[in-house]
């Protein structure tokens, strides 16, 4: 097996709020290998964004605080880097695409300048003309039409999809080896989503960057990712390659997520939403945080007394689940048994 | 942009007409200049009648308003009904003095307010932030006249106790001294200080709040994710955006202040336009009061326009056509 | 004179009405819990019921009580205003009683002249306390009257639009182009000074515009909302819609605005009285006291005590107002990060 590009171990992040301490990320570990695409899936508030923002020093501290853990990237622990070193890494070797392209671009600066800034920040000696040339080339790469005109326009003159393309151009400006896309299509119309995903795919092939794709949309995961992490209440509850997870899910939450999605290709009698709401991260339910909403638990004792460890299951070595009774799910198929990605 | 300015000016004409008419009715009802003359036994009744006719005081208020508007244009705001002196020179002189005080105090307040506002926003909840926020809260709660009086009492005391003249506590100049002299500076220092403290409270508080509003917006995170240094993030992405509301506040504030710092000028007996207005209002000098109201309304309208233009200049999302 | 801008500094006239405002009715949250086909129905219902029990006002109260400065302000305000209300019992002397043995004496415990006496031997502590009474009467009266006017005009303009709306917007434009203090001075010169009630009415007549604009904005945005449409479809009349469905949403801004208006009114009343265009002696108002003190600049206590009282009152009200805004008007709440 090759060296992982990024290796996160026992990361825990908490936020101090008026109501108490929020355990946003609770002791998670995972690896990302060069060139692969990893999906992180979960409901809002499951800690999926915080788990990546925190290692890049992008959560406000305070109220945020990294309690423990390490995040080794190319042999260096990001959590131990000095502010300046981390800053040099951001936007150069590790780049991010954010959720809302409406608010993620500065409304009073020209788009070209904002993309160029990403280059200038790391190569201050580069001449302005060169930077401009490169920015226009990048805009063309991500499919912005008339890039030399668009270069001088302001974000409000861009449509949502175009802004997200500009964001992607900004992220890949310095050919990062790790690209983190935080819900890159959530704020967009469905037709635009497909286009932006297309761009992400192209970019990935172009730069060969490893990608962490954070989303709540299993369809996107099926389409783009090779491996999946499912997060719930700040913990990883299931992890494995994308086919196994869709074919043989071993965590009731994963099954719930899949069953709550409509599937257009089949006759459907009902949707099965997961009952209840995501738990409060201040007073996390005892034992397995999912037990109050779980169809499998049936009130069994271990579910609310013991925190289930993330362990390998019957499916195979690389497949991990954090459910006491994962084996009971054998043979239980989700609606997604035929993976969408394969069609 | 030009059409916007023209349209705004055209729009302000009816506003101006209506507001001056309203003020005219108010002011005319408030003071009857003839009553004052009547009270003086040495002025013969004939003369009073003549004055009445000459100034159309025997006509109804709307008619008088029309005559007043004519005087406004033909005689530069007309003459005082009490002293028969032209009003225009008084207005320009006093407005000049007020402007001098305002420009100095506002420049200081804006620079200080913005710098302190930024520093306390980026060091939120530090001791520095705590102190500067308390100071600006205090400035908000402080009645101007009381602050002015305290400063005056302090410097009168200093003069009486040690016989040192640091700042004068009233007036504009010692005899024989000019507009651009140290003596003038010593005279206007206390009014400047008063206004500066009050305005500083406004600007620093706005700047801090505005910075904190911007600091949490997504594009600041984007800027940091790009690998920009903290200094760059603050200057290019936070400061510039946070400044937009401040510019509007400052333009409106300065416009309002030029309309007369009535209280400060009164406390320090400064020959500015606000003090002028108050005296004329006390005397019931109808046309002088009206002249003041017109001039200040125009100033305020102009500064509103400046605020809008600056806003559009700083924020590309605003379009004027 | 920066009064108008200072007043508006606290109350942004254009309150952005965001989606947050709609979360009010708690039963919606219960509706939002889906019926679960597989299990866990009980827990789902439990959670729903728990949400129901905590109303919007409970949250608001919790947020307010947690706002430390607001609580300090509230306590100070209760003490100071309480002293004003019970001036008859608290003040050692009446405000006009003359003590000829103690002319212009500095603060002393002799004869209980805690704040000293003025030039004709009146107890200054008593005068300040009666001055607080005048100021608080003016402040509260102006706040209530101007809120009522602003609410009615803003509601009508926002709900019906058209001529009333146009008229409102033009009037507020007009008020904005006039030098605020100068107009007040002119109005006082016309309408007569002296009685605090006259001064209060003049202030209220110029104060309502800001709130009217805020209320108008809320009505304007809410009258298009689905739940108002639904109420209309169900046959609710205009009055019912305005009172039952939209008005509750304006309460937060009204309370916040009203609170801050008390402070502004007290400041402006003091300024008017100081210039001789507000309340006239013998009624002691804090502004009148500072104005009178100018005759004796060497007797610091005559200037310091009434002025300091104004500062304390206004500061306390601003703190309470900030706390109320945080608690009642989440759309205006600053993100505390």
Smallest Cα distance from B124 to chain A, Å = 10
Confidence label for A53 from pLDDT (cuts 50, 70 and 90): confident
Fold of the domain built from segment(s) B88-314? MetI-like fold (1.10.3720)
User: What value, to the nearest 5°, has the Cα angle with vertex C278 and ends C275 and C282?
Assistant: 100
pLDDT of residue C31: 32
pLDDT of residue A336: 56
Pair type for strands A20-32 and A178-182? unpaired
Q: Which of B222, B223, B234, B241 to mutate to test the interface with A (most CBs of A within 10 A)?
A: B222
Confidence label for C333 from pLDDT (cuts 50, 70 and 90): very low
Nearest alpha-carbon partner for B249 in B104, B109, B116 = B109
Question: ipTM of the assembly?
Answer: 0.84
- pLDDT 10s digits, A78-112: 888 888 888 888 888 888 888 877 788 888 889 99
pLDDT of residue C44: 37
Confidence label for A263 from pLDDT (cuts 50, 70 and 90): low
Q: Which chains touch C (3 or more CB pairs under 8 A)?
A: A, B
pLDDT of residue C21: 30
Number of structural domains chain C divides into = 1
Q: Which residue of C has its CA nearest to B158?
A: C298
More confident residue, C169 or B259: C169
Query: Which residues, other chains included, contact C205 with Cβ-Cβ below 8 Å and sequence gap of 6+?
Result: C146, C149, C187
pLDDT of residue B50: 76
- pLDDT 10s digits, C317-329: 999 988 888 887 6
- pLDDT 10s digits, A306-329: 888 888 877 777 788 888 887 777
Instruction: Report CB contact under 8 Å: B225, A98.
Output: yes
Contact indicator for A209, A289 with CB cutoff of 8 Å: no
Mean pLDDT over A225-244 rounds to: 87
Structure tokens at C315: 């500061």
CATH code of the domain covering residue C251? 1.10.3720.10
- In CATH, what is the architecture of A6-35+49-225? 3-Layer(aba) Sandwich (3.40)
Mean pLDDT over C14-26 rounds to: 30
Mean pLDDT over A215-232 rounds to: 86
Query: Which residues, other chains included, contact B243 with Cβ-Cβ below 8 Å and sequence gap of 6+?
Result: B114, B210, B314
d(CA C312, CA B141): 8
Q: Is the residue at C101 inside a domain?
A: no
Nearest alpha-carbon partner for C114 in C88, C136, C91 = C91
More confident residue, A337 or C165: C165
More confident residue, B9 or C37: B9
User: What value, to the nearest 5°, has the Cα angle with vertex B144 and ends B167 and C67?
Assistant: 130
Instruction: Report CB contact under 8 Å: A275, C66.
Output: no
Mean pLDDT over C105-112 rounds to: 72
- Grouping H, G, I as helix, E, B as strand and the rest as coil, residue A317 is strand
Cβ neighbours of B228 in A, within 8 Å: 87, 91, 117, 121
Q: Is the residue at C21 inside a domain?
A: no
pLDDT of residue A268: 58
Q: Which residue of B has its CA nearest to C181?
A: B262
pLDDT of residue B260: 64
For residue C40, give the nearest of A60, A270, A292 by CB distance. A292
pLDDT of residue C193: 60
pLDDT of residue B37: 66
Q: Which of A85, A98, A104, A172 to mutate to test the interface with B (most CBs of B within 10 A)?
A: A104
| Domain boundaries, position C261 | 56-87+113-328
Structure tokens at A101: 């392209």
> Where, residue-wise, is CATH 3.40.50.300 in chain A?
6-35+49-225
d(CA A45, CA A312): 26
Instruction: Report CB contact under 8 Å: A293, C43.
Output: yes
The proportion of chain B whose per-residue pLDDT surpasses 70, expressed as a percent, equals: 95
Q: Is the residue at C26 inside a domain?
A: no
Computed over every residue of chain B, the mean pLDDT equals 84
The proportion of chain A whose per-residue pLDDT surpasses 70, expressed as a percent, equals: 93
More confident residue, C241 or C25: C241
Please enumerate residues of A whose Cβ is less than 8 A from a Cβ of B: 56, 58, 60, 83, 87-92, 95-96, 98-100, 103-109, 114, 117-118, 121-122, 154, 156, 167, 170
**Domain positions in chain B:** 88-314
Mean pLDDT over A295-305 rounds to: 79
Q: Which residue stretches of C161-195 are H helix? A: 162-177, 180-191
Cβ neighbours of A104 in B, within 8 Å: 218-219, 221-222
Mean pLDDT over A218-243 rounds to: 86
Instruction: Report CB contact under 8 Å: A276, C44.
Output: yes
d(CA B77, CA A331): 95
E strands, chain A, in order: 6-17, 20-32, 37-41, 64-73, 76-77, 94-97, 178-182, 210-215, 227-232, 235-241, 311-313, 316-321
d(CA C108, CA C106): 6
Measured in residues, chain C has a length of 337
- pLDDT 10s digits, B194-239: 999 999 998 999 999 899 888 888 888 889 888 888 888 888 889 9
- pLDDT 10s digits, B116-125: 999 998 888 8
User: What value, to the nearest 5°, has the Cα angle with vertex B278 and ends B277 and B279?
Assistant: 95
Contact indicator for A69, A79 with CB cutoff of 8 Å: yes
Confidence label for B106 from pLDDT (cuts 50, 70 and 90): very high
The proportion of chain A whose per-residue pLDDT surpasses 90, expressed as a percent, equals: 1
d(CA B303, CA B132): 29
For residue A92, give the nearest of B227, B229, B316 by CB distance. B227
> Looking at the DSSP assignment, which residues form a beta bridge with residue A232?
A235
d(CA B298, CA B304): 10
| CA distance readout (Å), A193 to A186, A189, A196, A200, B274 | 8, 6, 5, 10, 62
């Amino acid at each position: 097996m090759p060296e992982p590009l990024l290796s996160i171990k026992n990361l825990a992040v908490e936020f101090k709020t008026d109501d108490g301490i929020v355990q946003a990320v609770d002791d998670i570990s995972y690896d990302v290998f060069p060139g692969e695409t990893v999906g992180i899936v979960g409901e809002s508030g499951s800690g999926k964004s915080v788990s990546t923002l925190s290692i890049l020093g992008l959560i406000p501290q305070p109220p945020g605080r990294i309690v423990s853990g390490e995040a080794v990237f190319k042999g260096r622990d990001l959590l131990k880097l000095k502010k300046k070193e981390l800053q040099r890494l951001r936007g150069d070797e590790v780049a991010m695409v954010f959720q809302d392209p409406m608010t993620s671009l500065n409304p009073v600066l020209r788009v070209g300048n904002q993309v160029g800034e990403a280059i200038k920040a790391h190569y201050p000696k580069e001449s302005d003309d060169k930077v401009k040339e490169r920015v226009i080339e990048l805009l063309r790469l991500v499919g912005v039409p008339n890039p030399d005109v668009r270069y001088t326009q302001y974000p409000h003159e861009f449509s949502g999809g175009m802004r997200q393309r500009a964001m992607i151009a900004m992220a890949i400006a310095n050919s990062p080896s790790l690209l983190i896309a935080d819900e890159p299509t959530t704020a967009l119309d469905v037709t635009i989503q497909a286009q932006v995903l297309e761009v992400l795919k192209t970019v990935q092939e172009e730069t060969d960057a490893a990608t962490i794709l954070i989303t709540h949309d299993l369809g996107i995961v099926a389409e783009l990712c090779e491996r999946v992490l499912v997060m719930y209440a700040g913990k990883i509850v299931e992890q494995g390659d994308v086919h196994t997870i869709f074919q043989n899910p071993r965590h009731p939450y994963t099954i719930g997520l899949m069953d709550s999605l409509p599937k257009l290709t089949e006759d459907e009698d009902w949707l099965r939403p997961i009952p209840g709401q995501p738990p409060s991260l201040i007073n996390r339910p005892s034992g397995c945080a999912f037990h109050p909403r779980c169809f499998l638990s049936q009130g069994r004792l271990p579910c609310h007394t013991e925190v289930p460890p993330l362990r390998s299951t019957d499916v195979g070595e690389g497949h991990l689940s954090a459910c006491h009774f994962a084996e009971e799910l054998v043979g239980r198929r989700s609606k997604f048994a035929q993976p969408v990605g394969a069609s | 942009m030009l059409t916007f300015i023209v349209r705004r000016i055209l729009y302000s004409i009816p506003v101006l007409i209506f507001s001056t008419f309203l003020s005219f009715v108010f002011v005319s009802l408030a003071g009857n200049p003839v009553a004052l003359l009547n009270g003086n036994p040495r002025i013969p009744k004939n003369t009073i009648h003549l004055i009445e006719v000459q100034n159309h005081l025997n006509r109804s208020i709307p008619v008088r308003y029309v005559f007043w508007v004519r005087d406004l244009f033909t005689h530069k705001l007309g003459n005082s009904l009490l002293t028969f002196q032209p009003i225009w020179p008084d207005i320009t002189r006093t407005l000049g003095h007020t402007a001098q005080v305002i420009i100095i105090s506002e420049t200081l307040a804006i620079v200080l307010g913005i710098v302190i506002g930024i520093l306390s926003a980026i060091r939120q909840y530090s001791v520095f932030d705590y102190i500067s926020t308390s100071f600006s809260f205090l400035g908000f709660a402080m009645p101007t006249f009381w602050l002015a009086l305290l400063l005056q009492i302090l410097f009168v005391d200093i003069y009486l106790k040690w016989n040192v003249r640091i700042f004068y506590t009233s007036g504009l100049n010692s005899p024989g001294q000019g507009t651009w002299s140290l003596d003038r500076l010593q005279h206007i220092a206390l009014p400047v200080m008063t206004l500066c403290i009050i305005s500083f409270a406004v600007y620093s508080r706005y700047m801090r709040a505005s910075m904190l509003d911007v600091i949490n917006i997504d594009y600041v995170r984007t800027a940091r994710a790009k690998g920009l240094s903290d200094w760059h993030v603050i200057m290019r992405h936070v400061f510039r955006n946070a400044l937009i509301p401040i510019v509007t506040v400052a333009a409106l504030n300065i416009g309002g202040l030029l309309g007369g710092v009535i209280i400060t000028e009164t406390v320090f007996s400064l020959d500015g336009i606000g003090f002028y207005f108050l005296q004329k209002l006390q005397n019931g000098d109808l046309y002088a009061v009206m002249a003041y109201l017109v001039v200040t309304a125009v100033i305020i309208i102009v500064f509103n326009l400046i605020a809008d233009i600056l806003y559009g200049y700083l924020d590309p999302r605003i379009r004027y056509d | 004179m920066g009064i108008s801008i200072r007043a508006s500094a606290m109350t942004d006239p254009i309150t952005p009405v965001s989606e947050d405002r709609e979360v009010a009715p708690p039963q919606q949250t219960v509706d939002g819990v889906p019926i679960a086909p597989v299990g866990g129905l009980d827990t789902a219902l439990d959670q729903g019921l728990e949400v129901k029990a905590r109303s919007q006002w409970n949250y608001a109260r919790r947020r307010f009580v947690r706002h430390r400065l607001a609580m300090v302000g509230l306590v100070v305000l209760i003490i100071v205003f309480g002293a004003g209300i019970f001036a008859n019992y608290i003040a050692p002397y009446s405000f006009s009683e003359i003590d000829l043995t103690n002319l212009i004496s500095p603060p002393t415990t002799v004869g209980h002249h805690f704040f000293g006496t003025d030039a004709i031997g009146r107890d200054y502590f008593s005068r300040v306390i009666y001055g607080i009474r005048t100021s608080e009467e003016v402040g509260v009266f102006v706040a209530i009257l101007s809120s009522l006017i602003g609410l009615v005009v803003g509601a009508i303009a926002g709900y019906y639009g058209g001529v009333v709306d146009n008229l409102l917007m033009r009037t507020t434009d007009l008020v904005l182009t006039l030098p605020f203090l100068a107009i007040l001075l002119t109005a006082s010169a016309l309408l007569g000074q002296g009685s605090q009630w006259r001064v209060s009415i003049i202030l209220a007549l110029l104060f309502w515009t800001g709130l009217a604009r805020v209320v108008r904005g809320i009505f304007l945005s809410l009258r298009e909302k689905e739940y108002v449409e639904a109420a209309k479809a169900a046959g609710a009349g205009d009055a019912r819609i305005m009172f039952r469905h939209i008005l509750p949403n304006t309460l937060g801004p009204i309370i916040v605005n009203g609170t801050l208006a008390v402070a502004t009114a007290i400041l402006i009343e003091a300024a008017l009285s100081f210039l001789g265009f507000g309340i006239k002696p013998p009624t002691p108002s804090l502004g009148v006291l500072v104005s009178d003190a100018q005759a004796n600049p060497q007797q610091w206590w005559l200037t310091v005590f009434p002025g300091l009282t104004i500062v304390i009152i206004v500061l306390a009200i601003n703190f309470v107002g900030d706390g109320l805004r945080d608690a009642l008007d989440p759309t205006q709440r600053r993100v505390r990060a």
